[in-house]
Amino acid sequence: MTIDVLQAYCAPKPGVSWDTPFGPDVLVFRVAGKIFMLAPLDTPGTINLKCDPERAIDLRERYPGIIPGFHMNKQHWNTVDVTGSVPRKLLLELIDHSYELIRAGLPKKVREGLK
């Protein structure tokens, strides 16, 4: 899955933006300013996604392409292979899950403003 595909998939979600605050090598996707996905541009092929901790453990046991988040809180973040070892349907579901986790943690007024 390319950066262009990731951007096209995420763009319609309410409140989504992206930038490169850590330098030109990592594209950061946000909802209302809060990070829900990181995509390295210098080494494409993986993304970091937030995940429910119990689900993260299960996913890591079931899919070799899902590992603890690189340079992230490993309890809450996964690094996910986007080159084909993780089924596309699951990959899109995990992007949605990460987005929803972050969105749910936003203040009520901000969440309501995203509708």
Q: Which fold has domain 3-106?
A: Aspartate Aminotransferase, domain 1 (3.90.1150)
Contacts of 12 (CB under 8 A, 6+ apart): none
What are the pLDDT digits (tens) for 57-67? 999 999 999 99
Q: Is the pLDDT of residue 27 over 80?
A: yes
Residue closest to 100 by CA, chosen among 88, 82, 83, 114:
114
* Domain limits, the chain: 3-106
Quick one: what percent of the chain has pLDDT higher than 90? 83
What are the pLDDT digits (tens) for 41-56? 987 799 999 999 999 9
pLDDT of residue 47: 96
- Averaged pLDDT score across all residues of the chain: 94
33: tokens are: 């300013």
Residue holding tokens 């084909």? 84
